[in-house]
A and B are shown apart, each in its own frame.
Chain A
Amino acid sequence: MTALLIGINTFREATRDRVLAGVVAAGVVLLALTQVASPLALGEGRRLTVDLGLSAVSVLGLLVVLLVGTSLVAREIERRTIYNLLSRPIARAGYLVGKWAGLSAALWVVALLLGVALLGLLELRGFTGHGAAVTEAVYLAGLELTVVTALAVLFSALSTPVLSALYTLAFYVVGQWSYDLRGFASRFPEPLSALLGTVANVVPNLPLFNMRALAAAGATTSWSHLGMATAYAAVYAGCVLALAAAAFEKRDFK
């Protein structure tokens, strides 16, 4: 219950922050700009619109995580607003879950708004038949942002906003290459191979959430992929939050 209350308040905080409104506005401008570049795409205007539109969801969502998510807990500690919360009957783990859930919900709203804008643009341009593919791609982008938000909460609970932004960005970038890392691992001798393999397993498997190329071609993915991605996001975010809660439990607020 308290996690839900904190989640609602975090959602309120994120949606009242100008960053979120700015990001949605930037997304809409970016979609409009794709139409300027569209004639240069040599007949691939539809593909360009879908690809850039979906990229906007991921990149702008990441921007929100870096600007808001990485200071989510650290700023509360810095400003001492956390004293007013944790001196109430609230479990620290519940507090972190609430923070994560609130920002994740705000990011889902951003993804939804940009997804609807993209579908509206495709409809306006007469590019039909992308509805299902774009919906699936936006859903996967939302899952990706949920996972990255969990990482941001973990680092924010343990570090300063700047450092947690750097750590989160590093995990995001390396996570995008996790397939390549596994490939590299098999070509290197031990112990480098084991090290690369471990890193590939620790960082989030973000290619699992990327179906931009597929959606740009108008193709949908399988239910098993969607189910696997959902289960992976839930397990990965759960593990990260459990780790964050364990570390946060011991933290002092001087």
Chain B
Amino acid sequence: MQTSTAARADRQEDVRGGASPGVDRAALAVRAVGLTRRYVHPWTLRVTRALEGLDLEVRRGEVIGLLGPNGAGKTTTLKLLTGLIKPTCGRAWLMGEPIEDIASRRSLGFLPEQPYFYDYLSGEEYLELAARLSGVPGREATRRARRWLGRVGLGERPKLGLRKYSKGMLQRLGLAAALVHEPELLILDEPMSGLDPFGRRDVRDLILEQRARGTTVLFSSHILPDVEMLCDRVAILLRGRLTRTASVDQIVSDGRQAVEIRCAAVGPLEIPPAWHGVLARDDRAGEMVLRLEEEHRLQDLLAWLVRAGVRVHAVTPQRPGLEELFLAAAEADRAAAERTLRRTA
């Protein structure tokens, strides 16, 4: 039974022919309209909203990070897109094919969170099987299996049984299995999970390499510096809803930017009342560090410092990290939820 969200999704699909206004359908690698997944407890009939009305468009060749705390709906989104769970309502397309059609998974490489494999196979046998199941013919599958095993640093012992693999090795193998058929779209659920710093660096390099060859990458992660480094855009999910989608630069530049001004040490310097609340002074050995919270007032501050005879050594913008912005968004969402709860009570 379709709900009104699904009906809306279908109407939009009819009107737009599969894409937002101004967006070429062929240019989209992933498209979701009103994608929703709810679970109903069989005994209590209590409804849990894992994902609610997700509208998302990912252009071909784009790297997009899915952010959100545990239980926000990241894994649900990825499982819906890969066909592992069925949507309650709404629709989605991968490379222009509807997700309910197995053709949508022809150009897809997927790494699930904490992947598990057949432990009776060796690494090489597993990758060969993965390649063949994704349509790579026999000998080519064997060749690619060997190549990708080496590419993820597991090529020295191709016949080693998977039951002897460590957690990090399994994660690397999972990534190789997602890439062995050279997909156009890569969906990775927490790809850096369980990896040491070297493993994380290797995964980052692989994603960057895929971006360079034009592969679309959609991945979820808790490791925000990696997301900031790799992504063109991020989508923030909170309590099953997409709260924001924007480029990393845009999100960061939207944040309040502070400026740090390092000056030569001076004697007593009285800060005028006009700067109270936006300017903080920190005297360190041999220098004075001022922190200005409002970047647009920098010229005025510099003019005042010159007039006061202070020698300025350096002016450094203090760009807020994605982590701070994400935490602020999560906090705002929590506060909004609490307000709603109080109003309802």
Contact = CB atoms under 8 A, between A and B. Distances in A.
A87 B133 contact: no
B105 A12 contact: no
A252 B85 contact: yes
A89 B94 CA distance: 12
B49 interface: no
Interface of A: 2, 5-6, 9, 12-13, 16-17, 79-81, 83-91, 250, 252-254
Contact of B112 (A6, A13, A87): A87
Which of B85, B106, B114, B132 is the most central at the interface, judged by chain A CB atoms within 10 Å of its CB?
A: B132
Contacts of A250: 86
Q: Which 7 A-B pairs have the closest CB atoms?
A: A87-B110, A83-B112, A252-B85, A87-B82, A253-B84, A16-B120, A89-B105
Nearest to B104: A89
A68 B103 CA distance: 32
Interface in B110-158: 110, 112, 114-118, 120-121, 129-130, 132-135
A9 B129 contact: yes
Given A13-B120, A89-B135, A91-B102, A253 B115 contact: no
Contacts of B106: 89
B177 interface: yes
Given A89-B134, A253-B85, A84 B120 contact: no
A253 B121 CA distance: 23
B118 A81 contact: yes
A27 to B, nearest CB: 22
Nearest to B189: A83
A16 B122 CA distance: 12
A5 B134 CA distance: 11
B112 A84 contact: yes
21 contacts: A2-B133, A5-B129, A5-B132, A12-B120, A12-B121, A13-B120, A81-B117, A83-B110, A83-B112, A84-B110, A84-B117, A84-B177, A86-B84, A87-B82, A87-B83, A88-B108, A88-B110, A90-B102, A90-B105, A91-B102, A253-B85
B116 A81 contact: yes
A13 B129 CA distance: 13
B79 interface: yes
Contacts of A87: 82-84, 105, 108, 110, 112
Contacts of B82: 83, 86-87
A79 B174 CA distance: 14
A253 B84 CA distance: 5
A97 to B, nearest CB: 14
B80 to A, nearest CB: 10
A10 to B, nearest CB: 10
A90 B118 CA distance: 17
A17 B83 contact: no
A174 to B, nearest CB: 28
Which of B79, B108, B129, B133 is the most central at the interface, judged by chain A CB atoms within 10 Å of its CB?
A: B133
Nearest to B39: A254
A89 B133 CA distance: 7
Nearest to A78: B116
Contacts of A81: 116-118
A82 B86 CA distance: 15
A89 B102 CA distance: 5
Contacts of B103: 89
Nearest to A83: B112
Given A80-B115, A84-B117, 5 more contacts: A5-B132, A13-B118, A80-B116, A83-B82, A252-B85
A245 to B, nearest CB: 13
Which of A5, A9, A17 is the most central at the interface, judged by chain B CB atoms within 10 Å of its CB?
A: A9
B151 to A, nearest CB: 18
Contacts of B86: 250, 252
B83 A84 contact: no
Given A89-B135, A253-B85, A84 B102 contact: no
Nearest to B110: A87
Nearest to B107: A89
Contacts of B132: 5
A80 to B, nearest CB: 5
A79 B135 contact: no
Nearest to B133: A88
B108 A84 contact: no
A9 B118 contact: yes
Contacts of B83: 86-87
Contact of A252 (B84, B115, B130): B84
Contacts of A85: 133
A17 B120 CA distance: 8
Contacts of B134: 88-89
Nearest to A90: B133
Which of B117, B129, B135 is the most central at the interface, judged by chain A CB atoms within 10 Å of its CB?
A: B129
A243 B103 CA distance: 23
Nearest to A17: B120
Given A252-B84, A253-B84, A254-B85, A84 B130 contact: yes
B105 A83 contact: no
